[in-house]
Structure 1
Amino acid sequence: MSTATISRVLNDSPLVTEPTRRRVLKAVEALAYRPSHAARTLARRCTDTLGVVFPRIGSGFYTEILQGIDEIAAAHGFHLVTAFAHGLRDEKELMTQFMRGDRVDAAILLNLDFRDPSLFQLGTQHVPVVLIDEPIPGADLSVVEIDNRGGAEAAMMHLLGHGYRDIAVIAGPPGNYDSDARLESCLTVANRIGVTIPEERLFFGNFTSESGETIAQQWFDEGRPIPRAILALNDVMALGVMETLRAHGLRVPEDVALAGMDDCEAASYVGLTTVHVPIRDMGREACRIAVAHIKGALTVEKRVMPTQLITRRTCGCSEG
């Protein structure tokens, strides 16, 4: 029996008859043969591996996305190589390695600071790239992002619908893609109906509960008037604000109404009104697109994942 026939059987070729397939598999079992993964991937010019690059460790947001990616990757027989970049230089080095074409079959990237479109355009001739959450201007790449503007508009409109007018907004770091889009949408919708969010009611954290706590604590330390309602542009900061308000004896929502964004797991436990973001679905969709590119799909896909307002009790609504 030729080596070509054996190779066809081990690679599930439809060109092999069933009797021949059974004979080869019986011989393989008798010899306790194990195919070399490296040799097989080299012969097929692929690695069965997807590269995933995140900007940092320690975010539940990234964990949810990674779980979604892994679900689809496993279903298609791909392994994941996950890297967490530490700064711009590290991101560039990781991208250069991935773009060489012999490490991974596709790369999935989330919110990197490295923005050189020329490297991405050159690299994608060898390795497909899918972006999650933030497109790169000048690079014609598939991207899966959130409807940040629609979600923030829904949250702000809901607070305004309760009759709140003294509203503070706690955004993420200036320059952050998601935060900038959410903040702009909040201010636009408020202005559209004649409500001004003054500069002294705009605050900037870093998406952590500690930054939410710090911002709220400053109001008390500096004797500032406490806003009647607060929209934090992610749930984790909202939870930090809630902790500080309650530590100072204020009730949510009776004294201060509160809403967040993202619908993290803890939000439902404390009754936080929020905007649901399909985080795991973003990972699934990005991986689906990456697999399609590996299999030869050339169409660049642009997907905007829908968001949904989830009303709970912290805004003044009754749950249930």
Structure 2
Amino acid sequence: MKKATIEDVARKANVSVATVSRVINAQGGVRKSTEEKIVQAIKELNYVRNAVARSMVRKETKTIAVIVPDICNPFFSEVVAGVERKAIAKDYFTMVSSSNESKINERKLIQHIIERGVDGVVVTTADESGEQLKPLFDLRVPIVAVDRVIKNYQVDTVIIGNREGAYEAVRHLIHEGHKDIAIIRGPQNTTPGYERYNGYVQAMKEFGLDIREEFIGDGDFREDSGYEIAKKFSQLDTPPTAIFSSNNLMSIGALKAIQEMNWKLGEEISFLGFDDIEIATFTRPQITTVSRPMRQLGEVAFQLLYDQLMEENIEERKSREIILTPHLNVRESCKRKIVL
């Protein structure tokens, strides 16, 4: 398809090339109604040939938006810190919002962002279909997905090797002699939720171990769900000897339940969590975790967004996916089970 030229824009808006140029270069002296016609023509013709034109269409603000599910979650706080660090270095202001894992809230936030005007968006979406993000795509606002993928659109994405991290975690428990391993899994409609569960399944199958239905707890990445599921595990007639928790907040809830039930951590029950929570090294025994380079996630996300902002022909670029590597921190909460 032939690229639109400034002459095409002028013809469509029924103005001179000089008038289009004045609008693109923000020189003033053009009626607001005429400017609006030119902007509309640029959008309809996908005429975005250089940074100046793109800034005019997007009304450059030197502001980016970051949308996360829960800003109180230490993981997302660290990701945002990584975004901000890189943004400040490039003279960008960061506007942070939390969707509370609600796609309805996220849709409202998107509308608010559009009304206020931002240059780009970093998002951990509550709905991976990307349906609620469609207004941003329609306006060609640069987007980068963090921690979760956007399935129906081509966007730059930075994630962690979730399956790999979960597989290594469960394999560690198996190598310690555990066979009855339970999982507190996250929502299966999210990339971290199903990829970590798949890592658990992969390890269990690889070593010929049964995946028992009563050992699968459906959590929601929040503390209360981890607490309730761990309590149920402890009350089973034959409880698990080890628990793998799929995120930090659920791990905190599970550890509270283990303490309440006087279930001796590291002796009666081994525990391993995905995400290196702050209390992991303060407890006794210390908690074995899968850690993620959280700030690096945010830093890479901003760099991907900034690259888009600097692109002259963003419509022609191919989306990129960057996968960062998790790390298993072996501590004291996973005691070797002696097989008699």
CA–CA separation in structure 2 for the residues paired with 1:67 and 1:178 = 21
Task: Please report the TM-score for the alignment, with normalisation by the length of structure 2.
Answer: 0.73
Match of 2:144 in 1: 130
Query: TM-score, normalized by length of structure 1?
Result: 0.78
Q: In 2, distance between residues paired with 1:190 and 1:312?
A: 22
1:29-52 deviations in whole A, cap 9, x for unaligned? Answer: xxxxxxxxxxxx98x952111111
Partner-residue secondary structure (3-state), 1:314? coil
In the aligned structure 2, how far is the partner of 1:238 from the partner of 1:45? 43
**Contact 2:215/2:233 (8 A) holds in 1:** no
Distance 1:262 1:223, change over 3 A: closer
- After superposition, give the CA deviation of every residue in 1:199-225 in whole Å (9 maximum; x if it has no partner): 1111122223332222222345x5532
Aligned partner letter, 2:251: A
Inter-CA distance 72–180: structure 2 relative to 1 (3 Å threshold):
same
CA spacing shift, 1:225–1:70, aligned 2, 3 Å: same
Please list, as runs of the form range in 1=range in 2, the aligned pairs for 1:197-212 lying within 5 A after superposition.
197-212=211-226
What whole-Å deviation, never above 9, does each CA across 1:74-120 have from its counterpart, x for those lacking one?
111100122223633332243245457x7111111112326227545
Aligned length, in residue pairs: 273
Tell me how far apart the structure 2 counterparts of residues 123 and 191 of structure 1 sit (CA, whole Å): 46
Point out the more displaced range, 231-240 or 60-69: 231-240
Are residue 236 (structure 1) and residue 245 (structure 2) matched?
Answer: no
**Paired amino acid for 2:328:** L
| CA 238–81 in structure 1, closer or farther in 2 if over 3 Å, else same | closer
Out of 188, 192, 204, the position equivalent to 2:202 is: 188
Structure 1 residue matching 2:282: 3-state secondary structure: helix
Cα distance change of structure 1 residues 89 and 209 upon mapping to structure 2, 3 Å threshold: closer
| 2:291 counterpart of 1:276 | yes
Q: Percent identity?
A: 26
Amino acid at match of 1:265: E
Residue 29 of structure 1 is matched in structure 2 by none
Q: Distance in 2 between matches of 1:209 and 1:94?
A: 25
Correspondences of 1:18-29 after superposition (within 5 Å): none
Are the aligned partners of 2:66 and 2:94 in contact in 1 as well (CA < 8 Å)? yes
Question: Are the equivalent residues in 1 in contact too, given 2:79–2:297 (CA < 8 A)?
Answer: yes
**2:308 matches 1:293:** yes
Structure 1 residue aligned with 2:324: 305
Structure 2 residue aligned with 1:265: 278
* SS across alignment from 2:323: strand
Alpha-carbon shift at residue 283 of structure 1 (Å): 0.7
Unaligned runs of 5+ in 1: 1-40
Aligned-pair distance for 1:245?
Answer: 2.5
- For residues 205 and 85 of structure 2, the distance between their equivalents in structure 1, rounded to whole angstroms, comes to 42
Residue in structure 2 matched with residue 11 of structure 1 by the alignment: none
- Would you say the 8 A contact 2:65–2:121 is kept in 1? yes
Partner SS, residue 152 of structure 2: coil
Report the RMSD for the aligned CA atoms in angstroms: 2.5
- Partners of 2:231 and 2:251 lie apart in 1 by 13
Change (3 A) 1:88 1:242: closer
TM alignment of 1:1-320, pairs within 5 A: 45-85=59-99, 87-98=102-113, 103-113=117-127, 115-116=130-131, 119-124=135-140, 127-220=141-234, 222-270=235-283, 271-296=286-311, 298=314, 299=317, 300-316=319-335
2:35 corresponds to: none
How far apart, in 2, do the equivalents of 1:157 and 1:145 lie? 22
Gapped runs of 5+ residues in structure 2?
Answer: 1-54
Contact 2:65 2:95 in 1 (8 A): yes
